[in-house]
Amino acid sequence: MGVKGFPTVKVVRPGKKGKPIVEDYNGPRTAKGIVDAVVEKINNHVKRVTDKDIDSFLSTKNETAKAILFTEKGTTSALLKSIAIDFLDVITIAQIRDKETKANELFGIKSYPTLVLLPGGDKESIVYDGEMKKDAMVKFLSQAGEPNPDPAPAKGKSEKKSEKKSEKKDKKASSKSSESSSERSSTESAESTDVPPAAEKPVEVVVPPIPAITEADKLTNECLNRKAHTCVLAFVPSAHGDTAEKALTSLAELAFKHAQAKRHIFPFFEVHTDNEVTTSVFKSLGLSGDVEIVAVNGKRGWWRHYEGDFSLESVESWIDAIRLSEGEKKKLPEGLIGEAVEETTAEKKPAETVEVKVEESVEVEVEPESETETKGAEPTPEATPAEKPKHEEL
């Protein structure tokens, strides 16, 4: 679909060659604007008839039924378009303006809107005297022909011929496949054992609960600071209860639904009302119920209060209204918004002190001088030079 942002509205309608036509909606984001755009895209099979072509309209296919709506409006309503689709190729639906004098006088029309049914052939026309509602009008027109079970346009002759050929081919293929399958089944039955196939266990989808906030700093960092975007807070008692479980389950399923579809949604948090840390927030918003759901936006300074039965449909409708910026917003009380506290990834450990003791013991031995030193001490063997051998003279 080429969707890049949310919410995005696309208009999808059937095309001529089977491929649907997808168009972007760029009109106002209101119920009336969206409805008007969709109505404009409905295929119009209503024939506009004037005084100039009234005779040719009545004489063409006189044996088939026709219905004419005499109206003061120049546009074709969605109601008449849908009826024309329901009776496509069964009853020809037409519209004539009140200013077409000849046509109005021909049928004696004096008030508007007036619906006239022409059953076809020599049968007299029938004037509808009920309310202009689809069910009643369809019932009135059904006396001339049953509406289509499928509102899609009727298929042409070429498509019908191709369908018949494909049906014949399918029959031949099915007969061959049935013969081969019967042969396979006979051989398989002979080889099969009496062990029944193991039944497949259904896969259970576990919806994770929404996270809980029990600390004031955590609540401030996530939702109640000047840079925080929209958050949804579910104030519930720590012991929960039926009502609390219903509210938390609805929020969890809604968050899981958006996560599975990979759609961005603001965070949901569980906050306990009997926690002294978060009680001040509960009281400052003037909340008094056992279970309360609010949406807060610290950056823009507003909050919204949910009122409903905590069902999934009710909560989802409230969340969608917030996403579309619809509904009443209240100003956050002063003093509720704080400054974000920087969170450390790990607690700082005290610096380890390592005492290093270095003990140096230096012993210096001083030998007292002996009297022999004055007379000359004997040198050590290492320092004594080698004596030369004495040669006695002969």
**The two structure tokens encoding residue 387:** 């004596």
Q: Give the pLDDT of residue 296.
A: 93
Instruction: Give the model's confidence band at 369: pLDDT under 50 very low, under 70 low, under 90 confident, else very high.
Output: very low
Select from 131, 128, 129, 130 the least CA-distant residue to 93. Answer: 128
Q: What is the mean pLDDT of the chain?
A: 77
Mean pLDDT score, 227-253: 91
pLDDT at 394 over 50: no
Give me the percent of the chain exceeding a pLDDT of 90: 29
Provide the pLDDT for residue 377: 45
pLDDT of residue 347: 44
3-state secondary structure (DSSP) of residue 218:
helix
Query: What does the buried/exposed string (b/e) look like for 189-208 if buried means 16 or more CB atoms within 10 Å of the residue's CB?
Result: eeeeeeeeeeeeeeeeeeee
pTM of the full predicted structure?
Answer: 0.40
At 231, is the pLDDT very low, low, confident or very high (cuts 50, 70, 90)?
very high
* Three-state DSSP state, 41: helix
Sorted by sequence, the CB contacts under 8 Å of residue 82 that are 6+ apart come out as 42, 134, 151
3-class secondary structure, 183: helix
Mean pLDDT of 81-92: 91
The answer, yes or no, to whether residue 393 has pLDDT greater than 60, is no
How many helices and strands, by DSSP H and E, does the chain display? 11, 13
User: Which pLDDT score, from 0 to 100, does residue 141 have?
Assistant: 93
**Tens digit of each residue's pLDDT (9 = 90 or more) over 133-169:** 999 999 999 998 899 886 444 455 555 555 556 566 5
Mean pLDDT of 330-338: 85
126 strand-pairing partners: 117
Lowest model confidence (mean pLDDT) among 6-15, 62-71, 286-295 = 6-15
What Cα–Cα distance (Å) separates residue 145 from each residue in 127, 172, 331?
16, 36, 61
Q: How confident is the model at residue 173 (pLDDT cuts 50, 70, 90)?
A: low
The pLDDT of 163-186, averaged and rounded, is: 57
3-class DSSP state for residue 224?
A: coil
Query: Cα 132 from chain centroid?
Result: 37
Mean pLDDT across 167-189: 56
Cα–Cα dist 228/339, whole Å:
10
Report pLDDT digits (tens) over 270-311: 998 887 767 788 888 888 888 999 999 989 999 999 999 999
Distance CA 223, CA 225 (A): 6
- Which region among 101-110, 173-182, 190-199, 252-261 has the lowest average model confidence (pLDDT)? 190-199
Q: Which of 94, 41, 100, 86 is nearest to 66 (CA)?
A: 94
Pairing of strands 268-272, 212-213: parallel
In this predicted structure, the answer to whether residue 358 has a pLDDT above a threshold of 90 is: no
The lowest-confidence range among 29-33, 181-185, 281-285 is: 181-185
Q: What is the pLDDT of residue 342?
A: 61
What average pLDDT does this structure show over 80-97?
Answer: 92
Q: What percent of the chain has pLDDT over 70?
A: 70
- Check residue 243 and give its pLDDT: 92
Structure tokens at 357: 């003791």
What is the pLDDT, as a whole number, of residue 262? 82
